[in-house]
Amino acid sequence: MAQIPPPGEFIRAELERRGWGQADLAKVIGRPLPTINEIILGKRGIMPEMAVALGAAFGNGAMFWMQKESAYRLSLVNQSDPCTELRAKLFEWAPVKDMEKRGWIKVTHRVEDLEVELRNFFGHSLEEEPRISAVARQTFRTGHFTSSQMAWIFRAKQLAALLNVRRFNLDVFKSSLPKIRALATSPQKTAQVPIVLAELGVRYVVVEQFTGSRIDGAAFWLEEDLNSPVIVQSIRFDRIDSFWHTLAHEIRHIVNVDHPSLDTDLVGKSRATPLDEMEERADVEGAAMLIPPDALRSFMARVGPTYTKERINQFAQKIGVHPGIVVGQIQKLTDLWNANREMLVKIRNLVTTTAITDGWGKTV
């Protein structure tokens, strides 16, 4: 940085232009002569009150003198601060405080140690882009997701790698979808989901989302040979309809061998972004996997707009799903979000008894 002259040099120039001495300036602004001398010699800084007085005396305003003072003082400081720059980059790259709180990385005091912790967690340096393997070697792109979402998916990858499951066969998995769907009849059966999926070669994990990250689930592969599918859910909405809708959505991603899917706002009144073709397909197919769309339309045409618990229970029993799943799909199609909410029973504590879980006080 070029050397910046002290403000005293500009004061001296103003005095010479006017033919004043330091004593004259002291009298004009009503300040002690030693104070003026120290400012001109650079031994004393210009405070706001002095800047106002100098600006009035020389007719160039207080801001002129504050800027001269700030520029000079800044020039005396080393302009390079690589530690702060690196720390800022790391905090932008990852939700450091949240990850420390969850025990995903160690609490560190030196920025170099923090960089090592994050490199070990993600398995690469800051200069490399995080990779999640899938068909056609496509990857998650950091520009598409927040740092919290990326950390969440990589934690799921770590947990999934710990699981021992049977070898995955896509044809066998497709033929076994009715077996998975049969678990949707009661809350208690949701605890069997991780077990049944493992028998079919699918790694299932649960990771609590970071506040505000709005993640419902994701589907991806550990390896590029497509023999290691993973489904992760956040169960941020502890309801049977949300659980099954998200699970069915991710199952369809696996069936369709879609590239990695990190799904946000699958359940609720609105989405942050419109669905693309891949997500729309998984959404439609996932819903149809749970409730045949023709049967649902027929039921709604006969019963709506008043959906009593008795009629919902009858329909749910007929098609073989829990009534809360019927309520969830009706809510999504009609915006009747407050109707029959008591039927949306909680299932998180059931699922996490059998699923490898990170969150709600549970750690691996």
- Tell me: do 363 and 252 sit in the same domain: yes
25 within some domain: yes
Q: Does any domain span residue 49?
A: yes
Do 67 and 208 sit in the same domain of this protein? no
Which of 13-27, 70-84, 86-100, 109-123 is predicted with the least confidence, judged by mean pLDDT? 70-84
Q: What average pLDDT does the segment 127-139 reach?
A: 49
pLDDT digits (tens, 9 = 90+) for 275-285: 578 889 999 99
The whole-angstrom separation of Cα 111 and Cα 353 is 38
Q: Is the peptide bond before 323 cis (omega within 30 degrees of 0)?
A: no
Of 46, 75, 104, which residue sits at a domain end?
A: 75
For position 132, what pLDDT does the model report? 63
User: Is 263 a domain residue?
Assistant: yes
Q: In terms of domains, do 352 and 216 share one?
A: yes
In a domain, 87, yes or no: no
Terminal CA-CA length for the chain:
51
In a domain, 139, yes or no: no
Tokens of residue 284, six digits: 């439609």
Q: In this structure, are 205 and 347 located in the same domain?
A: yes
- On the question of pLDDT at 138 being above 80, the answer is no
**Segment 307-321, tens digit of pLDDT:** 899 999 999 999 999
Q: Which of 59 and 135 is assigned the larger pLDDT?
A: 59
**94 Ramachandran zone, left/alpha/beta (phi>0; psi -120 to 50):** beta
Higher-confidence residue of 194 and 262: namely 194
The CA distances from residue 317 to 24, 248, 293, 325, 346, in Å, are 99, 19, 16, 11, 19
164 shares a domain with 55: no
Lowest mean pLDDT among 247-251, 262-266, 345-349: 262-266
**Tally of structural domains, the chain:** 2
- H/E run at residue 183: none
- 2-11, 17-26, 53-62, 171-180: the lowest-pLDDT one: 2-11
Are both 334 and 200 inside the same structural domain?
yes
Residue that is last in its domain, among 75, 100, 115? 75
Q: What is the pLDDT of residue 238?
A: 96
Copy the structure tokens of residue 232.
Answer: 């992760």
Helix (H) or strand (E) holding 242: helix 240-255
Q: Looking at residue 33, which CATH number applies to its domain?
A: 1.10.260.40
Pair 356, 248 in one domain? yes
Please count the helices (runs of H) and the strands (runs of E) in the chain. 18, 5
Same domain, 243 and 345: yes
Query: Model's pTM, two decimal places?
Result: 0.79
Separation CA 202–CA 251 (nearest Å): 10
Look at residue 224 and tell me whether its pLDDT is greater than 60. Answer: yes
Q: Is the pLDDT of residue 270 over 50?
A: no
- Look at residue 83 and tell me if it is in a domain: no
Give residue-wise pLDDT tens across range 81-108: 888 889 999 999 899 999 999 999 999 9
Beginning with the edge strand found earlier in the chain, give each strand of the sheet holding 229-233 in spatial order: 261-264, 215-221, 229-233, 203-207, 356-358
Q: Which of 247, 246, 239, 276 is nearest to 259 (CA)?
A: 276
For the residues 326-345, what does the mean pLDDT come to? Answer: 87
Mean pLDDT, range 216-223, rounded to an integer: 90
Asked, for residue 101, whether it belongs to a domain, the answer is no
Same domain, 57 and 182: no
Query: Regarding predicted confidence, which is higher, 159 or 93?
Result: 159
- In a 13 Å sphere around the CA of 363, the CA atoms on its Cβ side amount to 8
On whether residue 312 sits in a domain, the answer given is yes
Question: Are residue 45 and residue 179 in the same domain, yes or no?
Answer: no
Confidence of residue 113 (pLDDT cuts 50, 70, 90): very high
Q: Which domain does 69 fall in, by range?
A: 7-75
- Over range 9-27, report the average pLDDT: 95
Cα dihedral: 271, 276, 279, 282 (round 10): 120
pLDDT in the model for residue 345: 95
**Are 63 and 180 part of one and the same domain?**
no
* Domain end position, chosen among 20, 47, 75: 75
With 90 as the cut, is the pLDDT of residue 38 above it?
yes
